Amino acid sequence: MKNSREICADILYKVFNQNSYSNIVLKNELNKCDLNSNDKGLITEIVYGTIKYKYTIDIILNSFIKNGINKIDEYILNILRMSVYQIKYLDKIPNFAVVNEAVELTKKKKSIGASKLVNGVLRNYLRNLDKKYYNDKNLVEALCFNYSFDKWLVKLFINQYGQEIAERILSGLNKRPAVTVRVNALKVSYDEAYNKLVEDGYNVEEGYVCPEAIVINKGKSIELNPLFKEGLVTVQDESAMLVAPSMDLKDNMNVLDLCSAPGGKTTHISEVMNNTGKVRAFDIYDNKLKLVKSNARRLGIKNLACEKMDASILNENLKESADAVLIDVPCSGIGIIRKKPEIKYTKNLKGLNELVEIQRKILINASTYVKPNGTLLYSTCTLNKKENEDNIRWFLKNNPQYSIEPLYYGKLDNFIYTEEGCVTILPNEYMDGFFITKLKRQW
């Protein structure tokens, strides 16, 4: 049977070397293994921590490996990475235990010779814990090392937000995300759901900003709880939870969600409309639409229909058909690094720029589907202004029939309200980085 360190190494190999999604691989591996909750918690901590701090860890390892990390066997490299993470960032595991575990795992998976290399590298690191790995007079180098982000991303944040906010973003993206659930008012009251979670042994608190949110600080997987299984609550970040209530929704409206999967915002729209009217959920992939349907069934949603469609291609049949349209457009996802830390290493500047063209096509198409006096809600889970404010300015310049209707969620230190009325949400322990703009069609 695999022990916790072997499971960690296997997961890291799949994420770093096979381009798997950390949240999916971790969930699958934890479901398969027969370990107690403490061991599963440690695996989660080591996996996410190692991915989160990979940039910094690789700099450290490069200084102790003669030919650099690129010459090392990939599996062994991941054993070294997770070991350095434990030594540098975790206080609860003695350093000698970390080294011993790494050596034994390398013997088991590779060879005695490889285990000697692992032992030598880690012991050399332990003898040099105070070593400097960057030029502390260089702001970018310091931020890259201390927060473990590639230079291009650190420079992007500094150029777009300035040094102070850029550092807040970097810090926020490294926060451990809380598990937040949205109470389904179609099935249960907020107080009933809250009290039931307390009865079931969860440590909970009211949401940071959303009235339907409950933050779960501690407790077993909520997806195994009857409240989730029976559709009384659903997991959703509070940033995403702001979208549906911002759309001026009323009972019996016709609403389109053009990029709906996996259905969190879509089903929230249905809940806000009290299961009345018609919500049409579109996505480009059939398998993703299955997720939307599954979520809708669990939550008791009756007014939702799923249809396959590429939102970047104009659908003449939808012109001026909707009272409100949501476009949570495909984006770089930089704002959700807290939950998917591998995004730090799977994105690049070229890829970000290529997304803008798709986003603008969707924005233009969606604008034709809105009835006069209707609402178009644009949202992303990125903090790249080229995908956010720049797209909105471009759109308004070419579409005078639309104007921004400013949104206000309260005076919170992680909310930035632009003069035009756009909202950027900076990441913190409660919320993902996010962007929301509400557009009104005048004629």
Annotated binding site for S-adenosyl-L-methionine: 259-265, 283, 310, 328
CA–CA distances in Å: residue 25 to residues 8, 15, 146, 340: 10, 8, 27, 12
Question: Which residues have a Cβ under 8 Å from the Cβ of 215 and sit 6 or more positions away?
Answer: 178, 179, 180, 204, 205, 206, 207, 208, 430
Tell which residue, 56, 53, 62, 122, has the closest CA to residue 87. 122
Three-state DSSP at 165 gives: helix
Question: Could you give phi then psi for residue 141, rounded to 5 degrees?
Answer: -60, -40
Beta-carbon-side half-sphere exposure of residue 304 (alpha carbons within 13 Å): 34
Contact 57, 50 (CB under 8 A): yes
Catalytic member of 8, 306, 381, 422: 381
Query: Helix 163-173 to helix 139-147 angle, to the nearest 10 degrees?
Result: 20
Question: Which residues have a Cβ under 8 Å from the Cβ of 160 and sit 6 or more positions away?
Answer: 166, 383, 384, 385
381 labelled catalytic: yes
Tell which residue, 214, 234, 359, has the closest CA to residue 295. 234
What does the block give as tokens for 94? 């003695």
Question: Which residues have a Cβ under 8 Å from the Cβ of 367 and sit 6 or more positions away?
Answer: 376, 395, 399, 402, 439, 441
Tell which residue, 442, 381, 389, 443, has the closest CA to residue 417. 389
Residues known to be catalytic: 381
